[in-house]
Amino acid sequence: MSKNELYPIFLKLSTLEVLIVGGGNVALEKLTFLLKSSPNAKVTVVAKNFIPEIVVLAKKHTVKTIAKPYENSFLKDKHIVIVATDDLEVNLQVYTDCKSQNILVNVADNPPYCDFYMGSIVTKGNVKLAISTNGKSPTLAKRLRQFFEEVIPDDIDELTENLNNFRQTIKGDFKDKVKKLNELTKNMIDGKD
């Protein structure tokens, strides 16, 4: 049985520069997904042409659009690149350029050319759950997202805030704090009152 060896992280996209190469439906999907999770992300989208929905979405956020063909200079100061064109040659060129500059890159729907995958995300206030199938089944990730959106209560954020407030009052070293928080929250798993 294979194992998912991806390392999950949560990025502060409001402090990183993201480039999306492409102006069609796949680029729109990636941009929408990214902005849903990180509405203040710093994103630039470059393409020869844009479908109208990308232009509308860009205007609602702080997304910069550049109506030009891709060129290597667009990678300057970028941290993450998402490639979503229907031109395999362009996709591979962007991938090669990113790799030579140590920029994380994701070529949509092409796992061998991805440093990362964009999994399904459940967000309930401050609680965020990311789901990955190791790039094998986006449909399963979507179904799991829908399941968790239903079972995680909308008021989970109130519990998060209360636990944070309690955490601030705990005295002692890190080990003591972890022990007290573990005692307080163990009933969540045990199902006991």
SS (H, E, C) 181-192: HHHHHHHHHHCC
For the chain, percent of residues with pLDDT exceeding 70: 97
* Domains identified in the chain, total number: 3
Most confident of 2-16, 51-65, 170-184: 51-65
- The confidence band for 191, taking pLDDT boundaries of 50, 70 and 90, is low
Q: Are residues 90 and 146 in the same domain?
A: no
Q: Are residues 32 and 104 in the same domain?
A: yes
Q: Are residues 133 and 178 in the same domain?
A: no
End-to-end alpha-carbon separation of the chain, Å?
A: 38
Mean pLDDT of the chain: 90
The mean pLDDT value for 78-85 works out to 98
Q: Which helix (H) or strand (E) holds 131?
A: strand 127-131
> What pLDDT does residue 190 have?
59
Q: Is residue 27 part of a domain?
A: yes
Q: Is residue 90 part of a domain?
A: yes
CA angle 57, 60, 63 (to 5 degrees): 70
Q: Are residues 41 and 94 in the same domain?
A: yes
**Boundaries of domain holding 64:** 17-118
Q: Are residues 103 and 178 in the same domain?
A: no
pLDDT digits (tens, 9 = 90+) for 14-34: 999 999 999 999 999 999 999
Q: Are residues 30 and 64 in the same domain?
A: yes
Q: Are residues 114 and 126 in the same domain?
A: no
Report d(CA 111, CA 117) in Å as an integer: 8
Q: Is residue 35 part of a domain?
A: yes
Judging by DSSP bridges, how do beta strands 127-131 and 120-124 pair with one another? antiparallel
Q: Are residues 109 and 48 in the same domain?
A: yes
CATH number of domain containing 30: 3.40.50.720
pLDDT digits (tens, 9 = 90+) for 108-149: 988 899 999 888 899 888 899 999 888 788 889 899 999 999
CATH number of domain containing 129: 3.30.160
Report d(CA 122, CA 37) in Å as an integer: 9
Q: Are residues 110 and 126 in the same domain?
A: no
Write the CB contacts of 70 (distance below 8 Å, at least 6 apart in sequence): 21, 46, 47, 85, 90, 93, 94
Q: Are residues 39 and 89 in the same domain?
A: yes
- The confidence band for 38, taking pLDDT boundaries of 50, 70 and 90, is very high
Q: Are residues 70 and 135 in the same domain?
A: no
Q: pTM to 2 decimals?
A: 0.84
Would you say residue 192 has pLDDT above 70?
no
Report d(CA 17, CA 41) in Å as an integer: 8
Would you say residue 2 has pLDDT above 70?
yes
Residues 79/59, Cβ–Cβ less than 8 Å = no
Would you say residue 13 has pLDDT above 80?
yes
Q: Are residues 55 and 148 in the same domain?
A: no
> What pLDDT does residue 22 have?
98
pLDDT digits (tens, 9 = 90+) for 82-116: 999 999 999 999 999 999 999 999 999 888 999 99
Q: Is residue 91 part of a domain?
A: yes
- DSSP state string for 52-92: HHHHHHHHHTTEEEEES---GGGGTT-SEEEE--S-HHHHH
